[in-house]
Amino acid sequence: MQNPVHPQVKAFAVRIRQWGSWQLGAVLVLLMAALVLLSYLGYTAVLNRELVLHELQLLLAYTVPAFAVAVMLVFYLILKLDAALAFLQDSAQSERQLNQSMQESIRQLNFEIEERKRAFQAKRRAIEELRKEIAERRKTEQELAEQSLLIRSIVDSSPDLFYYRDERGLLASCNKMFESIMERPMSALLGQDLTRLYDANSRQAAILSEYGLAAPETELTLDVQFKKLDGSVLWFEMRHLPFYDRQGSYIGLLGFGRDITSRKLAEQALEKAYQDKGQFIATLSHELRTPLNGIVGLSRRLLSSELGPEQSSWANTIFTSAETLGNIFNDIIDLDKIDRHQLDIVYQSVNLQHFLQDIANFAHLICQQKGLQFELKPEGLIDSYLLLDTTRLRQVLWNLLSNAVKFTRQGQVRLRCLLQAEQLLLEVSDTGIGIAQHDLPRIFDLYYKSKDGQRLSIVGSGIGLSVSRSLVEAMSGHIQVTSTVGEGSTFSIRLPVVFAQAPEQLPPISCPPLTILLIEDVPLNADIAITLLEQRGHTVIHAETGEDALALLETEDDLDLVLLDMQLPDMDGADIARYIRSDQRLAVLPTVMLSANVRKAQESLGDIKLDGVLAKPLNTDKLDQLLAELFSPSALRLQQSSSQEPDSGSTNHPALDETVLQGYLQSLGKGAMQRSAQLFAQLLPGYINKLLEAAVQQQTKELQSVAHKLKGAAAAVGLAWVMQQARALEEQEPDWQGLQRQLLELHFTAEQHLATLQQYIEQY
């Protein structure tokens, strides 16, 4: 409990400090002196005494000093007492703080003791968990080691080669097959930079398809050829995949190589078989069409002349047999095109009523020869214009009508046509012998013929219905059959309907039908040229190589024109042109050179007198003009006098040659151009792979040859930028260092331009 004196002492001490000890003491002494003086004066006044100065001086001399000493002593004691009290107060405060600090330390110590107990328990549990984890890790490591050994054994025993290069390009792993191909053990390969270990021209460099690439982080798949020391050749399908970590950073390249030698040899054998078959069919076309045309033409003239009944029957038999043989031959040609996926459907605006009347005329003729009745049953608004491939549809209907007449002894054959809003239905029905139920599921199979007794005497190729189904499906349609034995059969064709406007009547160039030898090695260019020429009524004989062309020039006597490609796989077009001009029999034969580079062709053919040079892709207007100049000059002048200005409202695409596209779209139609674009899309990966193979093996001639084909194919569908890039590859000296990356970028950009082309055709 605090002393009540303490506040007074403290207050007095404060006053002393405020005034100062000497100043306050002096004041008190003066007050004391004044008090003594006043007391003495009062004393004398009360006692009525006389003031004695000497007494007063003595009184002041004794009293004032004593009082001053007492005051100073009191001041000293008060200050000391205040200091002592302050010290005691500070000590008590410090004691209280120390006490609180000790209590806090005790609480903290107790907390730390509890925490250490818990940490010790957690440590014991962690040690137990660590022991379990170590045991599990040892078990996992053992299992991984066993699995790694198993995987390593599998990889080493694999007939496929494998290797892994890290982000620095150093070999990190490989298998036994890779060691065998590289002809060095793994110990000598690991950690090595293969671009320094092997020369770029070495046999092993062909396996490293990313060899020399500035950016190997590119996925790549291509076939490479590897020549062994003994001269044997192996083919590998090399696939390179970039390897990334979880953060997406490139950490290496995985290389896989599968031995595809047997497959490659089979492909080469199959390709040769296709070429041999194509050459055989081309020769067969030449050998059969001329005599068949003669038989058909002469038999028609005989039928129109005055003949006896027996002679007329013989002439009818000759005519029907020739027509049947021609149809079978057409089926064989189409079957070959279907087998090579080269069957083209060319749509054009056709009046359905006129088309049916043409078919009916043919059907009346063949039914009349056998004493059958023919009925045409149109339903709906058939006097309409539709987009149809009349050539293919006519071929299908002729095939079905011929079969109906063939298998009908008496009765009638009927063609029913029903035009609906979304579907065109064509039905060919007969009252013939019918088809057994077990034969119906296979009636459209290739080479399939019924085995029932009624059909054993019927001669047929077994391919007509199969070709008809393929043609209908190529036109996005469907064909089916229903039949009852002894009552007849009905073949139904359903085609999608696309209405069209009547074709604009332009003044045509009247050019007589010609027999034209087309020498072209690019299938896409050849198909388009053949379609254009056949649409104009000409007969086209196609040769894919210079050797075939020379053989046809020696055997053909009725050629009117030669369209000659500048560059062929086995010889130069200029050599064939010189051969034509040097041969006395062929010297006057009109010869026109086809080239993607007209100026270069004219320079190289300066010493050869040709009748013209056409740029590839063929421009329909220039083609008609050239044919008219050579074979119908008067019609050309008439056409030129009535020509119209071209439409200038089109939109140009930097990637496309719109002039070529407009000509093809107007001549061939939208459907044909769509199929040409699809065919180019199918051919493009093959061209790119061949270019990559040539780039890997640094084969300049092969690179330029494939680039020439790509240039022609791109030009044929109006891909101007792709054609320019291919021309640069063909004409410029290749830069092997960055060529593979350039080809990959070419592939990517070409696909983008192809999408632009397809969109352009859709909007036409």
Residue 653 belongs to a domain: no
543 shares a domain with 487: no
Residue 194 has pLDDT above 60, yes or no: yes
261 shares a domain with 184: yes
CB 563 within 8 A of CB 520: yes
CB 550 within 8 A of CB 541: no
Mean pLDDT of 586-594: 84
Sign of torsion, CA 116 122 128 132? negative
Rounded CA-CA distance 174/171 in Å is 8
DSSP β-bridge partners for residue 386: 350, 499
Backbone angles phi, psi at 186, to 5 degrees: -60, -35
492 shares a domain with 358: yes
pTM exceeding the 0.75 threshold for the entire prediction: no
Q: Which residues contact 530 (CB under 8 A, 6 or more apart)?
A: 518, 540, 542
Residue 199 has pLDDT above 80, yes or no: no
Please name which of 518, 495, 533, 473 lies closest in space to residue 338, comparing C-alpha atoms. 473
Residue 570 belongs to a domain: yes
Residue 68 belongs to a domain: no
What CATH number does residue 477 fall under?
Answer: 3.30.565.10
Residue 427 belongs to a domain: yes
Overall number of domains in the chain: 4
Please name which of 34, 29, 110 lies closest in space to residue 71, comparing C-alpha atoms. 29
Mean pLDDT of 456-467: 60
Residue 377 belongs to a domain: yes
pLDDT tens across 215-248, in order? 556 677 788 888 877 778 888 888 888 888 888 8
Reduced to 3 states (helix: H, G, I; strand: E, B; else coil), residue 354 is helix
757 shares a domain with 624: no
Which position has the higher pLDDT, 168 or 15?
168
Which position has the higher pLDDT, 281 or 84?
84
Q: Among the residues of 495-572, which ranges form H helices?
A: 523-535, 546-555
CB 244 within 8 A of CB 250: yes
Percent of the chain predicted with pLDDT > 90:
3
Classify 447 in phi/psi space as left (phi over 0), alpha (psi -120 to 50) or beta: left
pLDDT tens across 129-151, in order? 888 889 888 888 888 877 777 77
Lowest pLDDT segment from 11-15, 219-223, 323-327, 503-507: 503-507
User: Which domain-ending residue is among 435, 465, 499?
Assistant: 499
Mean pLDDT of 639-666: 56
What CATH number does residue 188 fall under?
Answer: 3.30.450.20
Percent of the chain predicted with pLDDT > 70:
79
What CATH number does residue 681 fall under?
Answer: 1.20.120.160
Query: What is the structure's pLDDT at 653?
Result: 46
Query: What is the structure's pLDDT at 640?
Result: 45
Query: Residue 286: pLDDT band by 50, 70, 90 thresholds?
Result: very low
Residue 491 has pLDDT above 90, yes or no: yes
681 shares a domain with 609: no
Query: What is the structure's pLDDT at 492?
Result: 93
525 shares a domain with 440: no
Which position has the higher pLDDT, 7 or 479?
479
Rounded CA-CA distance 167/58 in Å is 118
Pairing state of beta strands 373-379 and 385-388? unpaired
What angle is formed at CA 21 by the lines to CA 17 and CA 27, rounded to 5 degrees?
115
Residue 581 has pLDDT above 60, yes or no: yes
Mean pLDDT of all residues belonging to the chain: 77
Mean pLDDT of 365-382: 85
628 shares a domain with 580: yes
Buried b (16+ CB within 10 A) or exposed e, 1-28: eeeeeeeebeebbeebeeeeeeebbeeb
Query: What is the structure's pLDDT at 440?
Result: 80
Residue 638 belongs to a domain: no
Lowest pLDDT segment from 200-209, 374-383, 471-480, 692-701: 200-209
What does the CA dihedral 595, 600, 606, 612 come to, rounded to 10 degrees? 30
Query: What is the structure's pLDDT at 382?
Result: 81
What CATH number does residue 539 fall under?
Answer: 3.40.50.2300
pLDDT tens across 295-339, in order? 665 666 576 677 777 777 677 667 656 665 665 566 566 556 555
Please name which of 543, 512, 506 lies closest in space to residue 526, comparing C-alpha atoms. 543
Query: Residue 680: pLDDT band by 50, 70, 90 thresholds?
Result: confident
Structural domain containing residue 426: 344-499
Query: What is the structure's pLDDT at 324?
Result: 56
Please name which of 277, 276, 216 lies closest in space to residue 243, comparing C-alpha atoms. 216
Residue 647 has pLDDT above 50, yes or no: no
* Ordered DSSP codes for 250-319: EEEEEEEEEE-HHHHHHHHHHHHHHHHHHHHHHHHHHHHHHHHHHHHHHHHHHHHS---HHHHHHHHHHH
Whether the bond into 617 is cis, omega within 30 of 0:
yes
Backbone angles phi, psi at 209, to 5 degrees: -70, -20
Query: What is the structure's pLDDT at 72?
Result: 81
Query: What is the structure's pLDDT at 428?
Result: 93
Lowest pLDDT segment from 7-16, 29-38, 484-493, 642-651: 642-651
Residue 645 has pLDDT above 60, yes or no: no
Mean pLDDT of 16-44: 78
Rounded CA-CA distance 239/418 in Å is 55
Q: How is residue 440 annotated by DSSP? A: G
Which position has the higher pLDDT, 75 or 134?
134
Q: Which two tokens stand for residue 354?
A: 């006129």
Residue 141 belongs to a domain: no
CB 317 within 8 A of CB 309: no
589 shares a domain with 489: no
Which position has the higher pLDDT, 569 or 539?
539
Residue 688 belongs to a domain: yes
Query: Residue 494: pLDDT band by 50, 70, 90 thresholds?
Result: very high
DSSP β-bridge partners for residue 415: 376, 428
Query: What is the structure's pLDDT at 427?
Result: 93
Pairing state of beta strands 423-430 and 539-543? unpaired
User: Which domain-ending residue is among 265, 291, 313?
Assistant: 265
Q: How is residue 104 annotated by DSSP? A: H
Which position has the higher pLDDT, 453 or 700?
700
Reduced to 3 states (helix: H, G, I; strand: E, B; else coil), residue 112 is helix
675 shares a domain with 582: no
Query: Residue 453: pLDDT band by 50, 70, 90 thresholds?
Result: very low
Query: What is the structure's pLDDT at 479?
Result: 92
417 shares a domain with 529: no
617 shares a domain with 690: no
- In the block, tokens 């001329």 appear at 290
User: Which domain-ending residue is among 242, 265, 288?
Assistant: 265
pLDDT tens across 611-643, in order? 788 876 666 667 777 887 777 654 444 444 444
492 shares a domain with 352: yes
What angle is formed at CA 54 by the lines to CA 52 and CA 57, rounded to 5 degrees?
115
